[in-house]
Amino acid sequence: MICNLEKKPIEEFKTTNILPQTPFWARVKRKQGFIPKGFELTISKDLLFCRASSAEKINEDLLVLIKYVDDVNCFAYIPYGPKLEPTFENQGLFLEQLSESIKPHLPSTCMFIRYDLIWENQWAIEEEYFDNSGNWSGPPSDKTQEYRINFNTINWNLYKSIEDHLPKNTFFLDLTLKEQDILDNMRYNTRYNVRKANKKGIKVREYGIDHIGEWYKLYLETAIRHNIPAQNQEYFAAILRNQDNSKKGVTVKMLMADFEGNFLSSMFLVLSKKRGTYLYGASTSSKDDLMASYSLQWASMRIAKEWGCSEYDMFGSAPNLNQAHPLHGIHIFKKGFGGNLYHRMGCWDYPYNEQLYKLYRIQEIKK
């Protein structure tokens, strides 16, 4: 089994559907205080699949973000990576070997490496974790998850993170279907609201950075309404400025829905290779009866389809229909568009300094 890394300029990465593994994401995160590092990962195929040949090699680009927590200590973070997905029984072994291979390339004061895994959750395909209505109950306890993931590893050193950063649960829509079929796959109420918004005169258009103030006004109202921490306006301006605006990279479209000149809903649609992603959304609570958010989503899907995307990522939902979940309302809204719910593995840590890692976990728990 082979797992090697070589430094690679991030701007030379190949195009990918995985937005957080793009040069665009690296540029945005640099503005937020992370230090991006690019690598080319080479592994033998038997590290992914048990019966595969060790002679066959696979390559992929890997974006690693370094974050300092004080003047000396830092941790490494891999957003939605690695992209290569092993069979369930090889996941821990793969992460262990990758962690040890990447260690010499990290600062000596790196406390741990954190993987924000896009891999399908191992417990999302097991019947015992679904109720009679087909709702997923979620994975078992962290200890149970850790026991399975560390199976077949040497160091038994992988831990479920205290918190997850990027969305673990999302709806994917198939954009290879005809527009009418996409509409037909929606729930009746959603489809009705899309058509109602259009009949009422909702207009969806793309705007540039000169309208970032209008976006931010809607965003701030949404953040206050849902009691969530708000980013500053410059954060969103940086997203628009750092795009590639090319089909060979990442294109960002700030879409806004208005009624008679009044902006009611807005979103950031991000196009990367064959995937369109609903990255951020905002809306006003007034004039809800005009269903602007429904028209906005439908326009976004049509734009992504026309761009050449084969799938649409709703980027975040609750794992199930539990009404107590803080994302329950968002889940119901997104579910109505007819996509398939996908569950990711979320964040996993591999400590390099056990003592400092444990102290950092305590701080995360206290947040």
Question: Looking at residue 252, what is its pLDDT?
Answer: 97
* Residue labelled with tokens 């399975």: 148
Over its C-alpha atoms, the chain yields an Rg (Å, rounded) of 21
List the pLDDT tens digit at each of the 367 positions of the chain.
668 899 999 999 999 999 999 999 999 999 999 999 999 999 988 888 877 777 788 999 999 999 999 999 999 999 999 999 999 999 999 999 999 999 999 999 999 999 999 999 999 999 999 988 888 999 999 999 999 999 989 999 999 999 999 999 999 999 999 999 999 999 999 999 999 999 999 999 999 999 999 999 999 999 988 788 889 999 999 999 999 978 789 999 999 999 988 999 999 999 999 999 999 999 988 767 789 999 999 999 999 999 999 999 999 998 988 888 888 889 999 999 999 999 999 999 999 999 999 999 999 988 7
Cα angle 344, 188, 296 (rounded to 5 degrees) comes to 65
**Structure pTM?**
0.94
Cα–Cα distance measured from residue 62 to residue 106, given in angstroms and rounded to the nearest whole number? 14
In 3-state terms, what secondary structure has residue 200? Answer: helix
Cα–Cα distance measured from residue 29 to residue 301, given in angstroms and rounded to the nearest whole number? 26
Question: Looking at residue 53, what is its pLDDT?
Answer: 77
Question: Looking at residue 66, what is its pLDDT?
Answer: 98
Question: Could you tell me the CA-to-CA distances from 333 to 189, 219, 340 in Å, in that order?
Answer: 10, 18, 13
Question: Looking at residue 227, what is its pLDDT?
Answer: 82
Residues 6+ apart with CB under 8 A from 246: none
- DSSP codes, 155-186: S---EE-SS--S-SEEEEEETTS-HHHHHHHS
Question: Looking at residue 245, what is its pLDDT?
Answer: 77
Hey, which CATH number is domain 3-166+345-366, 3.80.30.20, 3.40.630.30, 3.30.70.260, 3.40.50.620? 3.40.630.30
Cα–Cα distance measured from residue 108 to residue 128, given in angstroms and rounded to the nearest whole number? 43
Question: Looking at residue 335, what is its pLDDT?
Answer: 95
Question: Looking at residue 13, what is its pLDDT?
Answer: 96
Q: Which amino acid is at 139?
A: P
- Count CB-CB contacts under 10 A for residue 176: 11
- DSSP codes, 293-344: HHHHHHHHHHHHHHHT-SEEE-----SS--TTSTTHHHHHHHHTTT-EEEEE
CATH H superfamily, domain 170-315: Gcn5-related N-acetyltransferase (GNAT) (3.40.630.30)
For CATH 3.40.630.30, list the domain ranges present in the chain: 3-166+345-366, 170-315
